[in-house]
Structure 1
């Protein structure tokens, strides 16, 4: 039985059933569901993205110290590490529409908290709430994109591009409004944006997803688990902190707008390049492309550690965007049937663990060790993990 047993998703393999109709005349139900799920996340994600920009720069206006701001920004990832299993079970039992509607409500409450609450202990529940909401929506986008394995890489690439559209538009606009109105008022605007997610979420199927009949046992991490951990550790952790640490004096001028434009550039690259990565994966194979791009990323990381900061940073952003659509289709092919939802959640957990520990490692190592060796070792580990994925 297919994992997507909902009536709306069952005919996904026959989008051109009518005689004489061109094969690509209308998107399949799988395409529609993937787009609505991605659009829902695109509407709720800007609140979190703007907080990453504004909270460290305006910590006193939020009633927190810089150290407390760091804890708040990490809290949503930490709660996902602990709670992804529960979220995956809830999502499988309730289906996409109820789960996404609940996640939109939670995201709206979180944005309202960012706009009105102050202090660590009042803002912390908002971050935990958002972390669980993002886990649910992220799992939905990946599941919907891989409902039909035919064209899953292309579908996942388009999904990533839609998701990135929200932060790309919100970051520069949020920076300008923060300068004019202060850092809190922009979140009232984002509440209205998030509320639009109720419309897209209601378009999703509501049927539950089947779950495995046998209980999962504790097992060693797979090669894809290790790669997901090291990809998060290296690119979402070591690289981001290293860029801020090593390149903090390279961009003079308005600090808020400059940081917003840099963050928006990353999401813009996802809009442009994630669909390209999906098309490449359909032609070359997702595993083969994953290994090739990871090895190239490792090479560029060595150059980044050697001192070619801006050129290598730009190349890493490009390579990361191309890699984004690859993992969910690989997981779906390797774990077909009811186990797919839990497998997708497991990959997300490993990536979050890597992305959560990477900044800590960077903060400890960058002041005391040569940057070349830090990034050369990270690159070597990423390369080995990518090569291991070929053997599963």
Structure 2
């Protein structure tokens, strides 16, 4: 349950999260609709994969510029601009066709997300007191948007096609201006954002890369592509409900995963859940599409809180922040590469072979984390 608080830090964090929650549905619905309705958007499946990867890839390249703009202009201006541009991006998804026009929209959205996400994280941690609680509440508010929009958008698509919903979501995104008006307006004079550097990956970074590639890339695109053939007519609704379950699971099961990690150890839990996810990926490729997908989204939610404690344990002191940034970058690289690979191979390679290879890669990456657990943190502070 999300508790409302009158404290300024809590209130600002909540408003920033609401702004992102209202802008986000137009993005998450594309992961559902582009693979299933590629022809309606005037693109191929491979181009759909490229479009779904573009927003993450531009985020990696453009994060530094976004962070510097945020530092100069503060939360209210940055988030207000991001919300307006996000609304235009949603409208573009409704009226534009073809790879290149839609690519411009995806790149614009990637920068909007970077700005809104940066503000939610900065405001949630602006006050050290109760920062963890505010961060958890912020993630819950953000997830509410996709939880509601995915099944509603899937249902509307069944009756009106995949385009009309984005006109509505453009209006929903603009409602975020009501939230951004309540954000603080001052610049962040003490914030000196560094450029994000891609460091050579250690074992945990490699796991993050593989996890992003398989679960945020291959799995999401495959859910739409394979589902449309397995359950014609109703696939978009079932897939929408499963993707909504993904965000609902993050809201409900993230704290559960954290408590389990405290009790049983984050590394032991990460390895066990990764192996279980590998088995579910294999079943997914073998044709157990909907049941395996439900298992995967639940396991993914339980795994989300596990990485940060492992990074903190392996890289104490000043090495902690660069290590966390490096882990996030490698996950983004994997999540950006996944749709590209899926778009190229799903129509050409048997699903069992593709997802079987993904399952093996995830299992090997998880076991490698366990074998590298005894390495002293100091030796890995600068590189893998």
TM-score, normalised by the number of residues in structure 2: 0.78
The answer on 1:103 being equivalent to 2:82 is yes
Structure 1 match to 2:96: 117
Per the TM alignment, residue 44 of structure 1 is displaced from its structure 2 partner at its CA by 0.2
The answer on 1:296 being equivalent to 2:296 is no
Pairwise mapping of residues 1-392 of structure 1 onto structure 2 (< 5 A)?
Answer: 26=5, 28-209=7-188, 210-212=190-192, 219-221=199-201, 225-240=205-220, 251=231, 254-277=234-257, 280=259, 284=262, 290-307=266-283, 309=288, 313-325=293-305, 346-361=326-341, 364=345, 367=350, 369=353, 372=356, 374-385=358-369, 392=377
Instruction: Sort the Cα spacing of 1:243 and 1:64 in 2 relative to 1 into closer, same or farther, 3 A.
Output: closer
2: CA distance, partners of 1:217 / 1:175 = 38
SS at 1:118 equivalent: coil
Contact 1:177 / 1:186 at 8 angstroms: preserved in 2? yes
Per the TM alignment, residue 146 of structure 1 is displaced from its structure 2 partner at its CA by 3.0
Instruction: Sort the Cα spacing of 1:223 and 1:37 in 2 relative to 1 into closer, same or farther, 3 A.
Output: farther
SS at 1:95 equivalent: helix
Instruction: Sort the Cα spacing of 1:357 and 1:115 in 2 relative to 1 into closer, same or farther, 3 A.
Output: closer
1: CA distance, partners of 2:317 / 2:122 = 11
Unpaired runs of 5+ residues, structure 2, are 378-384
Decide which moves more: 57-66 or 113-122: 57-66
Per the TM alignment, residue 87 of structure 1 is displaced from its structure 2 partner at its CA by 1.7
1: CA distance, partners of 2:354 / 2:170 = 44
Instruction: Sort the Cα spacing of 1:291 and 1:359 in 2 relative to 1 into closer, same or farther, 3 A.
Output: farther
Contact 1:75 / 1:128 at 8 angstroms: preserved in 2? yes
2: CA distance, partners of 1:355 / 1:98 = 29
Instruction: Sort the Cα spacing of 1:149 and 1:251 in 2 relative to 1 into closer, same or farther, 3 A.
Output: farther
Instruction: Sort the Cα spacing of 1:387 and 1:87 in 2 relative to 1 into closer, same or farther, 3 A.
Output: farther
2: CA distance, partners of 1:97 / 1:200 = 9
2: CA distance, partners of 1:37 / 1:381 = 35
Contact 1:301 / 1:376 at 8 angstroms: preserved in 2? no
Decide which moves more: 92-101 or 191-200: 92-101
Contact 2:53 / 2:340 at 8 angstroms: preserved in 1? no
Instruction: Sort the Cα spacing of 1:253 and 1:115 in 2 relative to 1 into closer, same or farther, 3 A.
Output: closer
Per the TM alignment, residue 89 of structure 1 is displaced from its structure 2 partner at its CA by 2.3
Q: What RMSD in Å do the two structures reach over aligned CA positions?
A: 3.7
Per the TM alignment, residue 243 of structure 1 is displaced from its structure 2 partner at its CA by 5.5
Structure 1 residues 316-369: Cα deviation after superposition (integer angstroms, max 9, x where no partner): 3223223435656888997999x96x8766544322101122344566596494
1: CA distance, partners of 2:195 / 2:240 = 45
Structure 1 residues 212-247: Cα deviation after superposition (integer angstroms, max 9, x where no partner): 599888754466644432331232134445666777
Per the TM alignment, residue 137 of structure 1 is displaced from its structure 2 partner at its CA by 1.4
Contact 2:227 / 2:239 at 8 angstroms: preserved in 1? no
Contact 2:15 / 2:182 at 8 angstroms: preserved in 1? yes
How many residue pairs are counted as aligned between the two chains?
Answer: 363
Per the TM alignment, residue 108 of structure 1 is displaced from its structure 2 partner at its CA by 0.9
Instruction: Sort the Cα spacing of 1:55 and 1:375 in 2 relative to 1 into closer, same or farther, 3 A.
Output: closer
Structure 1 match to 2:382: none
TM-score, normalised by the number of residues in structure 1: 0.77
Unpaired runs of 5+ residues, structure 1, are 1-23
1: CA distance, partners of 2:155 / 2:358 = 36
